[in-house]
Amino acid sequence: MSSAVQSYNMATVEAPRLSCWDGASEDSLARALSMAVTECMEVALIDGNQYSRLLFRPRANGCLRLALTTRSAYRHQVARVFVGALALRIDLSGDLRDRVHTAIQEAMMNSVLHGNLAIDSGLRDSLDGLETSHQTIERLLTSPQIARSMIRVEAIWNASMLYVLVRDSGAGFDRTDLPLPDEVRAAGHIARGRGLAILEAFCDRLALLHGGTTIKLGFRL
Amino acid sequence: MKVEFDDNGARVKISGEFTFTDHVAFKAIASRLFEGQGWPIVIDLTKLEFIDSAGLGMLLIVRDEADKAQRSLILRGPHGQVKRMFAVTKFDTLFTVEA
């Protein structure tokens, strides 16, 4: 086989089945992630020509992929809908559904706020800071470039493991540069510094990839 | 997130999901909780199904505001995922938590 040509055993490989999400509501997202679908993209990304950055390939394992805008990731409870779609495809019984939901929520929040919007968590350390944070986010989302910047959520599974990768379009970060939760609180920032500890507690495996722009969550099935 | 206040305004029941998108709504909730004086502040979580780290952070902000106002704060009835998040982040050592 030529090294330039990827070959697949078509008996075991699914062709991708695509859908589009209008970005309007969680109900319309649930419909866009119905059982027949393996890949879903928000329409605003197609309008913004960002689809050319996506390389959807057939895979031998199960998969569900969603590409959406920062605006929609901020406005809608995407993690809950995505986990609901996963539960239609694989058994998430026991505490697994709560763990997957919590971890995807934390990873998406990190990707939206710190990745694509580059918001300082310290803004949300007080009641007045909550309002300031909201105004800052709304102002950033008036920029089409920022509002349409992409978030990707990709679930891949086999009989024993589920992996979920959450990718943002930001500058990334180095895990070793993050202050410890005690250091954050000692500096007077009461309302942050728990996301990574929650991910470590709720995932069976956790990795930061591509300079911190991708969070890989692993769960034993 | 859905919100329901009792008559004196010092007790609020929040239900559904409490996440980072609720920060503006929660500021309004907290402001109303601190309008009254003297009553212990109770946040009833018995109908809350899901919380993320941003929701936990907002509860910490209320705790600090309660300390400043010399009001006691009680979190009531966390269960399921919310209770587990409290355990992971040691929230039960930072708050008065009632079953």
Domain ranges of chain B: 2-98
Q: Measuring CA to CA, which residue among A109, A122, A129 is closest to residue A196?
A: A109
Q: Measuring CA to CA, which residue among A188, A183, A159, A164 is closest to residue A60?
A: A159
**For position A24, what pLDDT does the model report?**
97
* CATH superfamily of the domain spanning B2-98: STAS domain (3.30.750.24)
More confident of the two residues A14 and A37: A37
What's the gap in Å between the CA of A198 and the closest CA on chain B? Answer: 7
Domains of chain A: 19-220 (3.30.565.10)
Averaged pLDDT, A38-66: 76
Q: How many CB pairs under 8 A join A and B?
A: 76
pLDDT tens string A195-209: 888 999 999 999 999
**For position A8, what pLDDT does the model report?**
43
Tell whether A125 lies on the interface with B, counting CB pairs under 8 A: yes
Task: State how far the alpha carbon of B88 is from the alpha carbons of A93, A128, A201, B47, in Å.
Answer: 21, 27, 7, 20
Alpha-carbon torsion angle A183, A187, A191, A192, nearest 10: -40
* Segment holding B11, helix H or strand E: strand B11-18
Return the minimum-mean-pLDDT range out of A34-43, A55-64, A166-175, B84-93.
A55-64
pLDDT of A71 over the 50 cut? yes
Q: Measuring CA to CA, which residue among B69, B99, B66 is closest to residue B82?
A: B99
Contacts with B54 from chain A: Cβ below 8 Å: 109, 124, 191
For residue B50, the 8-state DSSP code is: E
Contacts with B60 from chain A: Cβ below 8 Å: 190-191
The dihedral sign for the CA sequence A179, A182, A187, A189: positive
Enter the tokens of residue A72.
């929609």
For residue A14, the 8-state DSSP code is: B
**For position A57, what pLDDT does the model report?**
61
Enter the tokens of residue B57.
């952070």
DSSP labels, B13-42? EEEEEE-GGGHHHHHHHHHHHTTS-SSPEE
pTM here?
Answer: 0.88
Task: Please say whether the beta carbons of B50 and B85 come within 8 A.
Answer: no
More confident of the two residues A177 and A65: A65
Predicted-complex ipTM score: 0.91
What's the gap in Å between the CA of A90 and the closest CA on chain B? Answer: 20
pLDDT of A174 over the 90 cut? no
Q: What is the CA radius of gyration of chain A?
A: 18
Averaged pLDDT, A68-96: 95
pLDDT tens string B10-20: 789 999 999 98
Q: Measuring CA to CA, which residue among A206, A99, A63, A74 is closest to residue B24?
A: A74
pLDDT tens string A103-140: 999 999 999 998 999 887 666 678 888 888 888 999 99
Contacts with B64 from chain A: Cβ below 8 Å: 126, 190
Tell whether B25 lies on the interface with A, counting CB pairs under 8 A: no
pLDDT tens string B20-46: 888 888 888 888 888 877 778 999 999
**For position A2, what pLDDT does the model report?**
40
**Using the beta-carbon criterion (under 8 Å), do B24 and A127 form an inter-chain contact?**
no
Averaged pLDDT, A208-214: 89
Question: β-strands A205-209, B48-51: how paired?
Answer: unpaired
**For position A81, what pLDDT does the model report?**
97
Quote the mean pLDDT of chain A. 83
pLDDT of A59 over the 70 cut? no
